[in-house]
Every structure is written in C-alpha cells, then in structure tokens.
C-alpha cells in the first residue's frame, strides 16, 4: 500500500526540537492538527467531506454515538494541508 493511500495517523503531541529563540515548535508535516471543531457531528462530517472533495484527507475525531451536541468533535488534517484546509472551510462557511 502506498503512503498516499494510508489513513492519516492519529494526532500526537509534537516532540520535535524547538530552535533556540523560536516560539513555534517545528512540526512534522504529517502530524495531524485541528482545523475545525463543533459539537454537531453532522457539521463536522460535512466539513470533512468538503475537504476530501478538495483533495485534502481529513478525519473526524471525538464522534461519540448518542452524545450529539454534548461532546465536541474535531476535524483533523495533516500540518502540510492545514492552511489550505482552513481557507476551504472559510470559503465554505461564507457560501452557506
């Protein structure tokens, strides 16, 4: 199976070394980051589908059956796709 067809790996804490004097840690481009959060699983799944239709692999984390509206869910993408994903989400939200 090629690396591109694998599922994104689960989010993890970044343990990358931080350059001296730099306030932002260096992130692995394959690490997952949150680009959207909501308590509505349907909305999160819609955002995931919009991202994937634009070529960005995304996962919904925190989808707990029976707890709609009570448990926040997050949409995660790879660091390398995060900026593009946020622009797509912003554009999608403006068009609604």
Q: 16-47, pLDDT tens digit by residue?
A: 444 455 566 677 888 999 999 998 889 999 99
Q: Is the dihedral of CA 87, 88, 89, 94 positive or negative?
A: positive
Give the residue from 3, 83, 91 showing the smallest Cα distance to 47: 91
Query: What is the helix (H) or strand (E) element at residue 12, kind and residue range?
Result: none
Could you give the percent of the chain with pLDDT greater than 70? 65
- The pLDDT assigned to 21 comes to 54
Does residue 66 form part of some domain? yes
Angle of CA points 17, 20, 23, to nearest 5° = 80
Residue 7 confidence (pLDDT) above 90 = no
Does residue 2 form part of some domain? no
Range with the lowest mean pLDDT among 5-14, 17-26, 69-78, 85-94? 5-14
Does residue 11 form part of some domain? no
Number of domains in the chain: 1
Does residue 50 form part of some domain? yes
Range of the domain at 77: 29-95
**For the domain that residue 90 is a member of, what is the CATH number?**
3.30.70.790
Question: Which residue's structure tokens are 């991202």?
Answer: 51
Does residue 51 form part of some domain? yes
């Amino acid at each position: 199976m090629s690396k591109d067809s694998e599922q994104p790996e689960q989010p993890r804490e970044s343990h990358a070394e931080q350059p001296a004097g730099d306030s932002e840690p260096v992130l692995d481009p394959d690490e997952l980051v949150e680009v959207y959060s909501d308590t509505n699983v349907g909305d999160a799944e819609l955002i995931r589908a919009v991202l994937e239709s634009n070529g960005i692999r995304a996962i919904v984390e925190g989808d707990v059956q029976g707890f709609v509206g009570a448990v926040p869910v997050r949409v995660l993408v790879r660091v390398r796709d995060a900026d593009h994903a946020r622009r797509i989400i912003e554009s999608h939200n403006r068009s609604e």
